[in-house]
Structure 1
Amino acid sequence: MTMGPSKREEEEKSIILISDDEAESTLGNSVLLVDPLEKSASGEEKSEEVVDEECELMVTFCKQPKAMPHARYDCTTHPFERTECDTCSPLGKNADICNQCYCYVCDKLASECQNWTTLSLCHCNAHNKSKFWKEQRDFALAGVLVMFNLELTDIDADLRHGGNLLIKFIQELSVEYSKYLVGERLPPTQHECFCLPKLPPGQCNICRSRNLEVVYKYSGVFSLVTKFLNQAEKENPKAAAVMFLGAAKEIALHKDPALNWQNLGHTASLKIAVPCLLQRITTHLQKMLVLCDFPKNLYEKFINFFQSISLPCHCFGFSNSLNVVPWDHGLLTTVLKGQNITGQRTQKGRKVFLWEMLPVIEARVERLVDKKKFKEVVRYLKAVKCNDIKGLRDLRDKIPFYLCKTGDFLDAARSLLFPISSLACCPACRITPIQFEVYLKMFRTGSVPAGKDMLDTGSWITVGPPMKDSVLIKQALKLLYSSVSLYRNPKCWSSLIMILGSSNVLEKNGHLHPLSLKEPPLDFQKGVLAASGDLLEELKAKINVSLPPAIFSSQLHHEACLIIAVQAVQQMLFCDLQYLTSFLEIALAFGNNFWALRLLLDNLSYEEHVLHGIVNLILRDLNCQKAMMLKLWQNLGPQYVGEFVCLFLTCRHKKMQSIGLFTLNIITENLHVCPWAKHLCNFFHNAGLRHLPLGTTIHHEVSKFINMFEKL
């Protein structure tokens, strides 16, 4: 330390050198005395330069020293006596102070210390070489945080805030727990029955004999702890961790004073309420240890503190709840990097597994997804093991979506069909019809929702090349054949047809762009139908098949996919018509590709019972959904409505023609909301409906409709 230059005066005595590190001071205190006027052995004065070799310090140009703030034991004015833990009374002249003496325990001026000479406390005797006084200092400065074994350098504003809230809670909890220990005695007429089965008050002989027994209800304590935990969840991570851990220690100390088991409910019975509270505390702490970037030292001290809690017998199941491996754990790291796909390794001759609790797994997945590390999510979920089989299975069901987020659509489709564990069926058995549609949309377009969930309604982004049509139709049918609930759901079939009839380029709003495909030659249609029969049977049998390359190498691959879908729908109707709840949405899914819908209806006309069932379904849907259909026709326009009506009016089977007539009646009855209806007249003229055989019902209704507009 260098002092500034000054004129030397005769009364100068010494200066004070303050060391930066008390622990490394060779003299045992925080000051070093140097006398600049001290004579040398030869009687000559020392030069202006003073060198202390032991401290490796050089002093030049000394001036009259000014006393700096210092601990009492370092005071050069008053002598100090050291003992290990004397608190009875001040030793020697330890109580004497100068105006710069500080209290070692309180860390403030000795003149302001209220316990400087207080008997049994005597802070004047405190010094830094005593373990006892160091602990007193740590407790005074750290408060309740001292029980976490935190260094003063670890404590920041968040930790101190959490500690302050914890102290207040402990005080309130002590009052409420004391009330619980007192208990209450219920009057005989109001005494509850604690037996099973529960009887009305006064009718249970066992409870009647216990009228004098005191009832201990933990509800008040449970409510107070719950309120505190609610508050903790709103605090910053460090403060919240302190509050959760402190609460866990306090409730673990609570005892049930009842001599016999009292079944008072999950909040009033201590042995039920405490595990319930600990479950909430440990679950939240598990997630925090994964999601929050606690310093490694703090992370370990939190875990060590929880392990030091002496848990009662009814809470032994929580003993290892916070044994959460850090992100840099060796086995976890190798799994995330793809170096270990099994999640197990041999260590000292024993097999070690990556086994974690469900809240920990959920938190890891959440953090990895937030960082868009979807490949790591997939590796982790495939390798990790958990005692909550259903919870882990639900998380693994999202693996296909995470694969889509990486652009690996083919692997995503395969993962839908094959279970990761032999204890569970494939994810396809559990996906919903809307999820089925979203998967097909992703496969078709090579795009995914930008958000974290596949059902997010926000924007979509392109992440890779879309599936080829031949691969898409095969994987889509495999999914349908793998799940009975999907196979019998009309929404899934309408989604399949709609996706196949759409472009693989998304519109700016994330919607699909429907295609109007030209009807292919009849020979091509017959060829695809002939080839698809055996193909569909092999797909049902889960045989790995290849679609005829001649069909999909042509320019008509879109049309070929629709024809195969028509054949698949036809087979489904022949076998499972009784389970179908609607057919109208399947018909509407064809959009402007009426040739494909006509192909389906023509093939159905050969099976009388199927045809009648389909017609009844469509008529029922049209009757129940008139408002929806009118709104849809308003958006699609007269061209679409005209083709839709003509398609059914011109069917060779009279039963199917009734659908066209019913549609025409709906329009006629609602002309006030169908301003486009007059344009249908020209369409009917061009389609030749006016020239149908006279006397037929169709000719009569069409002529009546046209004449109505001609008179206007």
Structure 2
Amino acid sequence: MDSQCYPGGCQVVPIWKLMAMWPSEKEQEEESIILISDDDDDEVQCPGDDGGGESTQESSVLFVEPQEKSSLEEKKSEELVDEEGDLVVTYCKQANVMPHARHDCTTHPFERTESDTCSPLGKNADICEQCYCYICDKLAAECSLWTSPALCHCNAHNKSNFWKAQRNFALAGVLATFNLELLELDTELRHGGDLLEKFIRDLSVAYNKYLTGERLCPPDQECCCQPKLPLGQCNVCSSQSMEVVYKYSDVFELVTRFLNQAEQESPKAAAVMLLGAAKQIALHKDPALLKNCQSLGLTASLRIAVPFLFQRITTRLQRMLVLCDFPKILYEKFVEFFQSISLPCHCFAFSNCLNVLPWDHVLLTTVLKGQNITGQRKQKGKKMFLWESFPVVEARVEKLLEKKKYREVVRYLRAVKCNENQRLRDLRDLIPFYLCKTGNSLDAAHSLLVPVNSLACCSACRITPCQFKVYLKIFRTGCVPSGNAVLDMGPWVKAGSPLRNTVLIKQALKLLYSSQALYRSAKCWSSFIMILGSSDLLDKRGNLLPLSLAEPPLGFQENVLAASGNFLEDLRSGVNVSLPSALFSGQLHHEACLILAVQAVQQMLCCDLPHLTSFLEIVLAFGKNFWALRLLLDQLACAEQILCGTANLLLRDLARDKGTMLRVWQSLGPQHVGELLCLFLSCRHKRMQSVGLLSLNVIIENLHVCPWAKQLCTFFLESGLRQLPFGTTVYLEVSKFVSVFEKL
């Protein structure tokens, strides 16, 4: 190609063709020619050249198109015609030289080599006013290493991998060790790199101080020279017997402060800081080797402190690789950087700790989608298992919960394997709750009683009484807490349908029978009674709506008690039994459920009364259904010892928690308190009557905090309590209580 026309009418001519028509010096003063190398060709060669011409690609020269000529300039223009008649130059103007790298300078020749740093090659040190240093990215005249021996920036150019690496390190600083391209560096990464560089400088000072050690003089040292000198004044003896101790504590504290700072930074900056710190402490050596490493302690011994720091760093990085949405290239470079660290022998355990499966890994994705329920697959004849360290498992669950992917969480926890089985088991114990969040309460109820694998026990063995209450509330209403925790205090939202009464009772009793701690908990039994005596709807605040049920016929009560006794006995022995639908699915199904609860509580008291810590909350759980509470007391009357023990437990509760009872009575109101006291005062057993009498005394002693006591007195008068033949003691105490208000 001899010549080429550019848009705008500018004709470009190869350099070698214009050399033949170069004007004289006098002509150069009046007119000039713009020389532009042909960039469309891979290489520009002069005729007869042997192929050694330099490529002009990636040139830093900027080409300026000719501007419009003034009338004066047009008059001064002269025609210049080459001998072949291919080119006519009507006007030429001196070009403005733009900033350029030294190797692209058109004024001074440049010699290229791969990595020559000893001294300037040829005329590489010569510069024009617009020559820039390729390494420093500033004017060559301002480069302090332009001709420095062993550095020689004047020889740098863009065709050498060596000089490219030097340029990347100069512009990227410590980030160049992460193999990051300049275009990949954003504000977060640069900020992390700046903090890391400062840390490396501070760490170098602290580490060098550690290497010098501390010289300790033995306390029982005596001078052995002649003449003997006082203790500590003989330099000869002191220098021979002093022990050098190397304490890593100052370095440990410096690294710890840096890690604390990293955890407050943005994800990219934090990752750079953590990885850089890991590389630096991996280079630290212990001058004392294994000497006294245990006696120095955690922070003073390098061989103990460095693995401790590595554990913290790698745990944080594992979580970040899962939780932070790093670009794929950056993700891989972070992992490659850690794998390039030469770990000391005391840190070999961390070699593969950052081999975290990406979210798009085929094994992980098939598990999350439900296509693989075992977490196993064969690849090239070898079995692969979904095995991840616990920080990774915890982070994945956290990420999935954040996106409200509860089904995926259940599938993942059932399939994954981990090195910390107990902590993984704690996460798996929440599988029933996540199933409830999906609206599948029945599966949740079954999963509480069925272990994830044959080596573990069921979750029911470890749930607390508070969690038991929440699960029953979910099963009863089909609503769940809006948060991701079982005991979340926020509002409740609808998730699915409530369980049928028969299924709810069966699953609740199985939970109680599966755990001795639950079975002996008064809170669990009060929750069971309260759930059965409540509606399947929640109020606006998410609270249960208690039912006020009328007392059913005595014949119905007897039939339910008989059926309940057989049902409870078979269920406890493990027999797959069902409740009779005629009793528990008919018109009086709520009443039947309460009667069954009475029978279950009576059986519990007969077996485990000595282990019960309270009975008052069980009494209060019946709410306004006093007929059911009376039925329980009648059932207990068949066994004198059980009835007395229950009464003693109630008396102890009242004596111990008077303040709590007064607040409860205030919320219940005088009508409810009056009926409850009448129930105990009218009981045939004197020990149960004493519960009502003690309650009256508590109210009389605290009239200043019982503004409702006068209304209670009115209730006693209207109910004819003073005329009932309760006995001398009861009559006197009730009369005393009434007379207090009659005098007012």
TM-score, normalisation: structure 2: 0.87
- 2:46 aligned with 1:14: no
Q: 2:160 maps to which residue?
A: 130
Give 2:85's aligned amino acid.
G
Q: 2:20 maps to which residue?
A: none
- 2:708 aligned with 1:676: yes
* 1:383-402 pair list within 5 angstroms: 383-402=415-434
* 1:97-112 pair list within 5 angstroms: 97-112=127-142
Q: 1:311 maps to which residue?
A: 343
**Offset of residue 62 of structure 1:** 9.3
**Offset of residue 702 of structure 1:** 2.0
**Offset of residue 707 of structure 1:** 3.0
Give 2:179's aligned amino acid.
N
Query: Using the alignment, how far apart are the partners of 2:133 and 2:341 within structure 1?
Result: 33
The more displaced of 2-11 and 378-387 is 2-11
**Preserved contact between residue 249 and residue 309 of structure 1 (Cα < 8 Å):** yes
Q: 1:509 maps to which residue?
A: 541
- CA change 1:694–1:580 in 2 (3 A) is closer
Question: Of residues 265, 270, 283 in structure 2, which corresponds to 1:235?
Answer: 265
Query: Using the alignment, how far apart are the partners of 1:314 and 1:551 within structure 2?
Result: 70
- CA change 1:111–1:604 in 2 (3 A) is same
Question: Of residues 363, 374, 382 in structure 1, which corresponds to 2:406?
Answer: 374
The more displaced of 406-415 and 274-283 is 406-415
Q: 2:47 maps to which residue?
A: none
Q: 1:688 maps to which residue?
A: 720
**Preserved contact between residue 512 and residue 519 of structure 2 (Cα < 8 Å):** yes
**Preserved contact between residue 101 and residue 131 of structure 2 (Cα < 8 Å):** yes
- 2:313 aligned with 1:271: no
Partner SS for 2:219: helix
- CA change 1:472–1:19 in 2 (3 A) is farther
Query: Using the alignment, how far apart are the partners of 1:21 and 1:612 within structure 2?
Result: 108
The more displaced of 462-471 and 564-573 is 462-471
- 2:174 aligned with 1:144: yes
The more displaced of 267-276 and 3-12 is 3-12
Question: Of residues 422, 428, 451 in structure 2, which corresponds to 1:419?
Answer: 451
Query: Using the alignment, how far apart are the partners of 1:617 and 1:695 within structure 2?
Result: 23
**Offset of residue 12 of structure 1:** 4.8
* 1:423-502 pair list within 5 angstroms: 423-502=455-534
Q: 1:629 maps to which residue?
A: 661
**Preserved contact between residue 16 and residue 65 of structure 1 (Cα < 8 Å):** no
Question: Of residues 87, 111, 134 in structure 2, which corresponds to 1:45?
Answer: 87
Give 2:470's aligned amino acid.
V
The more displaced of 5-14 and 354-363 is 5-14
Q: 2:232 maps to which residue?
A: none
- CA change 1:66–1:695 in 2 (3 A) is closer
- 2:87 aligned with 1:67: no
Q: Deviations over 1:59-116 (max 9, x none)?
A: xx99764323221111112211111122222222212222222211112222222222
**Offset of residue 624 of structure 1:** 1.1
Q: 1:198 maps to which residue?
A: none
- 2:123 aligned with 1:93: yes
- CA change 1:229–1:355 in 2 (3 A) is same
**Preserved contact between residue 225 and residue 247 of structure 1 (Cα < 8 Å):** yes
Q: 1:616 maps to which residue?
A: 648
Q: 2:191 maps to which residue?
A: 161
Give 1:163's aligned amino acid.
G
- 2:675 aligned with 1:643: yes
Query: Using the alignment, how far apart are the partners of 1:681 and 1:426 within structure 2?
Result: 52
- CA change 1:7–1:134 in 2 (3 A) is closer
- CA change 1:18–1:242 in 2 (3 A) is farther
**Preserved contact between residue 22 and residue 29 of structure 1 (Cα < 8 Å):** no
Query: Using the alignment, how far apart are the partners of 2:158 and 2:562 within structure 1?
Result: 95
Q: 1:174 maps to which residue?
A: 204
* 1:244-259 pair list within 5 angstroms: 244-258=274-288
Q: 1:663 maps to which residue?
A: 695
Q: 1:591 maps to which residue?
A: 623
Partner SS for 1:525: helix
Question: Of residues 284, 301, 306 in structure 1, which corresponds to 2:316?
Answer: 284
Query: Using the alignment, how far apart are the partners of 2:393 and 2:597 within structure 1?
Result: 40
- CA change 1:188–1:321 in 2 (3 A) is same
Partner SS for 2:575: coil
Partner SS for 1:457: coil
**Offset of residue 33 of structure 1:** 8.6
Query: Using the alignment, how far apart are the partners of 2:498 and 2:65 within structure 1?
Result: 86
**Preserved contact between residue 14 and residue 33 of structure 1 (Cα < 8 Å):** no
Query: Using the alignment, how far apart are the partners of 2:740 and 2:119 within structure 1?
Result: 116
Runs of 4+ in 1 over 6 A off after TM superposition: 5-10, 17-23, 32-38
**Preserved contact between residue 449 and residue 459 of structure 2 (Cα < 8 Å):** yes
Partner SS for 1:520: coil
Query: Using the alignment, how far apart are the partners of 2:171 and 2:204 within structure 1?
Result: 23
Partner SS for 1:301: helix
Q: 1:547 maps to which residue?
A: 579
**Offset of residue 557 of structure 1:** 1.6
Query: Using the alignment, how far apart are the partners of 2:277 and 2:242 within structure 1?
Result: 33
**Offset of residue 46 of structure 1:** 5.2
The more displaced of 254-263 and 429-438 is 254-263
Partner SS for 1:678: helix
Q: 2:16 maps to which residue?
A: none
Q: 2:229 maps to which residue?
A: none
Number of equivalent positions: 682
Long gaps (5+) in structure 1: 49-60, 192-209
**Offset of residue 121 of structure 1:** 1.6
The more displaced of 38-47 and 115-124 is 38-47
* 1:105-120 pair list within 5 angstroms: 105-120=135-150
Q: 2:23 maps to which residue?
A: none
**Offset of residue 211 of structure 1:** 5.8
Query: Using the alignment, how far apart are the partners of 1:63 and 1:320 within structure 2?
Result: 65
Query: Using the alignment, how far apart are the partners of 1:509 and 1:145 within structure 2?
Result: 54
Q: 1:566 maps to which residue?
A: 598
Give 1:230's aligned amino acid.
N
Query: Using the alignment, how far apart are the partners of 2:265 and 2:687 within structure 1?
Result: 69
Q: 1:360 maps to which residue?
A: 392
Give 1:514's aligned amino acid.
P
Question: Which structure's CA Rg is the greater one?
Answer: 2
Partner SS for 2:245: coil
**Preserved contact between residue 33 and residue 92 of structure 2 (Cα < 8 Å):** no
Q: Deviations over 1:237-263 (max 9, x none)?
A: 111111111111111111111155212
Partner SS for 1:505: strand
Query: Using the alignment, how far apart are the partners of 1:20 and 1:522 within structure 2?
Result: 106
**Preserved contact between residue 375 and residue 386 of structure 2 (Cα < 8 Å):** yes
Partner SS for 1:652: coil
**Offset of residue 35 of structure 1:** 12
Q: 1:57 maps to which residue?
A: none
TM-score, normalisation: structure 1: 0.91
Query: Using the alignment, how far apart are the partners of 1:17 and 1:699 within structure 2?
Result: 121
Q: 1:699 maps to which residue?
A: 731
Q: Deviations over 1:256-301 (max 9, x none)?
A: 1115521210111111111101000000000000001111111111
Partner SS for 1:352: strand
Output the aligned Cα RMSD.
2.7
**Preserved contact between residue 160 and residue 239 of structure 1 (Cα < 8 Å):** yes
Q: Deviations over 1:428-486 (max 9, x none)?
A: 11111111111111111211111121212121111111222221111111111110001
